[in-house]
Structure 1
Amino acid sequence: MKHHDPAAKHAAAPEVRITIEPEWVLASKYEELTGTTPNAVHQRRKEGVWLDGTHCAVIARRLYVNVKEADKWIRSQVSQRQRAY
């Protein structure tokens, strides 16, 4: 007769990890990720460099950054500088 070990069943189960990559993050989290301060984000908004609803948004008095759009903007700046040389 085989002995059944319930702990062995759980030990063999694979670990499942879920990765979430949000499109919008708080400006403070964006600073952690990139080093760009919330003040720099506000300045880009003020100068019209970053557009509300595209690159950033203020919702309930909290500043958010669209990471994907911010990355696109950075890539466009890099390619413009390379063309200038």
Structure 2
Amino acid sequence: MKHKDTEASRAPHTVAASVEPEWVLAEKFQELTGVTPMAIHNRRRAGIWLDGKHCAVIARRLYVNIKEADQWIKNQLSQPHRA
């Protein structure tokens, strides 16, 4: 007869990652928000999103700063809309 406490102690322990990345690839940002990499590039070209703050290109890969992008969205919500 096996002891239940012994069986439980043999089970592998898993630890959930508690670190949330600040920068993600544009493709991952699209999965999370629906904003396409092309929309990100267009915001960069228009000067709406700044390199190094909202986004960055490193080794030809486009990254997005989730926190800054989220703050930019919040700022857009607080601005009055034109008719």
Runs (4+) off by over 6 Å: none
Partners of 2:40 and 2:4 in 1: CA distance: 60
Residue 9 of structure 1: CA displacement? 2.6
- SS of residue matched to 1:63: strand
Structure 1 residues not aligned, in runs of 5+: none
- SS of residue matched to 1:65: strand
Partners of 1:4 and 1:28 in 2: CA distance: 46
Bigger Rg over Cα: 1
RMSD: 2.5
Q: Mapping of 1:1-85 within 5 angstroms?
A: 6-10=6-10, 16-81=15-80
Structure 2 residues not aligned, in runs of 5+: none
- SS of residue matched to 1:75: helix
How many residue pairs were aligned?
81
TM-score by length of 2: 0.82
Q: Which has the higher helix share?
A: 1
Identical aligned pairs, as a percentage? 60
